[in-house]
Amino acid sequence: MVTATLRPTRVRVNETAIFENVQHALAQLKEETALFAVVKADGYGHGLLRVARVAQKAGASGFCVAVLDEALALRQAGFTAPILVLGIIEPAYAAIAAANHVAVPVGSAAWLDEALPHLQDPALPPLRVHLAMDTGMGRIGFRDVAALKAACAVAVANPQAFEIEGLFTHFATADEPDTTYFKLQVARFQAFLAALPTKPRYVHVANSATSLWHQACNGNVIRFGVAMYGLNPSGRAIEATPYPLKPAMSLVSTLSFVKQIEAGEAVSYGATYHAAEAEWIGTVPMGYADGWLRRLQGFHVLVDGQFCEIVGRVCMDQFMIRLPHAYPTGTAVVLVGQSGDQTITLQDVADYSQTIHYEIACGLAARLPRESVAPVK
Ligand X SMILES: *Cc1c(COP(=O)(O)O)cnc(C)c1O
Q: What residues are labeled active site?
A: 40, 269
Footprint (CB under 6 A) of ligand X, residues 230-249: 233
Residue 175 CA to residue 264 CA, distance in Å, equals: 47
Residue 229 CA to residue 159 CA, distance in Å, equals: 38
Out of 223, 300, 313, 322, the residue judged to bind ligand X by CB under 6 A: 223
Footprint (CB under 6 A) of ligand X, residues 141-170: 170
103 binds ligand X (CB under 6 A): no
Phi then psi for residue 261, to 5 deg, are -115, 160
Out of 38, 98, 109, 334, the residue judged to bind ligand X by CB under 6 A: 38
> Based on CB atoms, which residue is closest to ligand X, 225 or 337?
225
218 binds ligand X (CB under 6 A): no
- Could you tell me the smallest distance in angstroms from the CB atom of residue 214 to ligand X? 12
Torsion, Cα 233 129 145 156, to 10 degrees, reads -160
CA 200 centroid distance within chain: 27
Picking from 2, 39, 70, the residue whose alpha carbon sits closest to that of residue 365 is: 2
> Based on CB atoms, which residue is closest to ligand X, 118 or 223?
223
Instruction: Identify which range of 144-152, 205-213, 290-298, 300-308 contacts ligand X by CB under 6 A.
Output: 205-213
Contact letters for ligand X, residues 45-84 (x by CB under 6 A) = ----------------------------------------
Q: How many CB atoms lie within 10 A of CB 177?
A: 9
Residues near ligand X (CB under 6 A), total: 11
How far are the Cα atoms of 9, 21, 43, 57, 199 from residue 4, in angstroms, in the given order? 8, 29, 19, 29, 49
Footprint (CB under 6 A) of ligand X, residues 168-197: 170
Report the sign of the C-alpha dihedral through residues 108, 362, 170, 138, in that order.
negative
Residue number with the smallest Cβ distance to ligand X? 225
DSSP 8-state secondary structure symbol assigned to residue 369 = P
> Based on CB atoms, which residue is closest to ligand X, 94 or 206?
206
Picking from 17, 369, 40, the residue whose alpha carbon sits closest to that of residue 223 is: 40
86 binds ligand X (CB under 6 A): yes
Out of 8, 45, 219, 225, the residue judged to bind ligand X by CB under 6 A: 225
Picking from 42, 30, 99, the residue whose alpha carbon sits closest to that of residue 67 is: 42
SS3 371: strand
Out of 9, 185, 208, 234, the residue judged to bind ligand X by CB under 6 A: 208
Residue 209 CA to residue 231 CA, distance in Å, equals: 10
Instruction: Identify which range of 13-21, 121-129, 206-214, 305-313 contacts ligand X by CB under 6 A.
Output: 206-214
**Strands 279-284 and 300-303: what pairing?**
unpaired
Out of 9, 21, 185, 207, the residue judged to bind ligand X by CB under 6 A: 207
> Based on CB atoms, which residue is closest to ligand X, 132 or 303?
132
> Based on CB atoms, which residue is closest to ligand X, 153 or 237?
237
> Based on CB atoms, which residue is closest to ligand X, 10 or 223?
223
Q: How many CB atoms lie within 10 A of CB 132?
A: 26
**Strands 306-311 and 273-274: what pairing?**
unpaired
Residues at the interface with ligand X (CB under 6 A) = 38, 40, 86, 170, 207-209, 223, 225-226, 233
